[in-house]
């Protein structure tokens, strides 16, 4: 039991995944407890959670409330260059 708690408490990768999942879906009771246990002792993940919430709110406003931001529009030339870069990267892999 102690080993399980230790793994939960110090697994930042899982904690960050749960933080992101929590913003788009409901966590199970077990996931909530695991995340809470981790956040108690990990200041970096607490900071990550705060930053993630802010970023997600900004992205939501950017794409779902265009009257606030004026909408997101990319120049056609920029889109073409970006598309070409993506194609080139995919060819290399």
For residue 77, count other CB atoms closer than 10 A to its CB.
8
Question: What is the C-alpha separation between 75 and 77, in angstroms, rounded?
Answer: 5
| 62-72 pLDDT per residue, tens | 777 666 556 66
Contact (CB, 8 A) for 19 and 39: no
For the chain, domain boundaries? 2-92
Chain-wide mean pLDDT for the chain? Answer: 84
What does the pLDDT read at residue 64? 76
Q: Does the reported pTM lie above 0.85?
A: no
CA dist 33 and 37 (Å) reads 6
Are 11 and 43 in contact by the 8 Å Cβ rule? The answer is no
Under the banding of pLDDT at 50, 70 and 90, the label for residue 8 is: low
For 71-85, how does the pLDDT look when each residue is reduced to its tens digit (9 = 90+)?
A: 667 788 988 898 999
User: Could you give the percent of the chain with pLDDT greater than 90?
Assistant: 47
């Amino acid at each position: 039991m102690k080993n399980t708690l230790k793994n939960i408490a110090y697994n930042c990768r899982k904690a960050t995944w749960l933080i992101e999942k929590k913003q788009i879906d409901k966590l199970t009771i077990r996931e909530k407890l695991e995340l809470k246990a981790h956040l108690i002792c990990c200041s970096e993940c607490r900071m990550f959670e705060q930053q993630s919430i802010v970023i997600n709110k900004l992205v939501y406003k950017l794409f779902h409330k265009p009257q606030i931001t004026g909408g997101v529009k990319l120049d056609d030339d920029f889109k073409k260059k970006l598309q070409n870069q993506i194609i080139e990267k995919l060819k290399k892999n």
